[in-house]
């Protein structure tokens, strides 16, 4: 079982499956995991239990500020820029064979939201995407064409 799958089941067992809510569990999952993880949990939760996690949180925390905060985290995690930042991270982590994927991502996204991706990448991984890409180019001679 992956960490995402475990969180999905835990959130079900600590929420809809019981009377009341295991609030500490919800707060832990939403605040301690990175945004990519939270979004993966949200997607898998809906696939597995047929209800959006946003609906579950809204119901379990009805009328309380904590519910609004958790829903905000869900929405932020769902942001497209985060998704593409994650894809960049995967491409860079596998540099060499993945440079074609990275280039394709760059071309497809650069005219729309590369600025948002750079910001998201910085927020998630605490390092500049530009710095990471420059390092990759310097270390990988086959990636030199990105400079031209
Ligand atoms: Ca409940």
- At 41, which CATH number? 1.10.220.10
Q: What is the mean pLDDT of residues 60-77?
A: 83
Q: Give the Å distance between the CA of 84 and the centre of ligand 1.
A: 34
Residues 70 and 85 grouped into a single domain: no
Q: Give the Å distance between the CA of 22 and the centre of ligand 1.
A: 8
Residues 70 and 7 grouped into a single domain: yes
| CB-neighbour burial class of residue 101 (10 A; exposed 0-12, middle 13-18, buried 19+) | middle
Q: What is the mean pLDDT of residues 9-15?
A: 98
Residues 98 and 120 grouped into a single domain: yes
pLDDT band at 120 (very low <50, low <70, confident <90, very high): confident
Residues 64 and 99 grouped into a single domain: no
Residue among 74, 86, 78 nearest 30 (CA): 74
More confident residue, 70 or 19: 19
Q: What is the mean pLDDT of residues 89-110?
A: 65
Can you give the residue range of the structural domain that contains 72? 3-78
Residue-level pLDDT at 30:
87
Q: Give the Å distance between the CA of 16 and the centre of ligand 1.
A: 4
Domain count of the chain? 2
Residues 21 and 56 grouped into a single domain: yes
Computed on alpha carbons and rounded to an integer, the radius of gyration of the chain in Å comes to: 18
Residue-level pLDDT at 94:
67
Residues 92 and 129 grouped into a single domain: yes
- The whole-angstrom separation of Cα 14 and Cα 17 is 7
Residues 43 and 95 grouped into a single domain: no
More confident residue, 52 or 135: 52
Q: What is the pTM of this model?
A: 0.56
- The whole-angstrom separation of Cα 41 and Cα 33 is 10
Residue 32 reports pLDDT greater than 80? yes
Residue-level pLDDT at 147:
47
Residues 94 and 112 grouped into a single domain: yes
Residues 65 and 112 grouped into a single domain: no
Residues 107 and 42 grouped into a single domain: no
- Mean pLDDT lowest for which of 82-91, 93-102, 122-131? 93-102
Q: What is the CATH number of the domain that holds 136?
A: 1.10.220
Q: Give the Å distance between the CA of 20 and the centre of ligand 1.
A: 4
Q: Which of 78, 106, 134 is the last residue of a domain?
A: 78
Mean predicted lDDT score pLDDT of the chain:
80
Residues 38 and 21 grouped into a single domain: yes
Residues 71 and 135 grouped into a single domain: no
């Amino acid at each position: 079982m992956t960490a995402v799958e475990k969180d999905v089941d835990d959130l079900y067992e600590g929420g809809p499956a019981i009377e009341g809510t295991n609030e500490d569990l919800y707060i832990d999952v939403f605040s301690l995991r990175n945004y990519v993880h939270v979004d993966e949990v949200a997607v898998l939760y809906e696939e597995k239990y047929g209800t959006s996690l946003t609906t579950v949180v809204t119901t379990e925390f009805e009328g309380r500020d904590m519910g609004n905060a958790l829903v905000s985290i869900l929405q932020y995690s769902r942001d497209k820029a985060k998704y593409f930042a994650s894809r960049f991270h995967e491409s860079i982590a596998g540099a060499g064979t993945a440079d074609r994927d990275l280039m394709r991502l760059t071309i497809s996204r650069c005219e729309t939201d590369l600025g948002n991706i750079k910001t998201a990448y910085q927020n998630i991984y605490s390092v500049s995407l530009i710095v990471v890409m420059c390092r990759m180019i310097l270390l990988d001679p086959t990636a030199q064409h990105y400079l031209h």
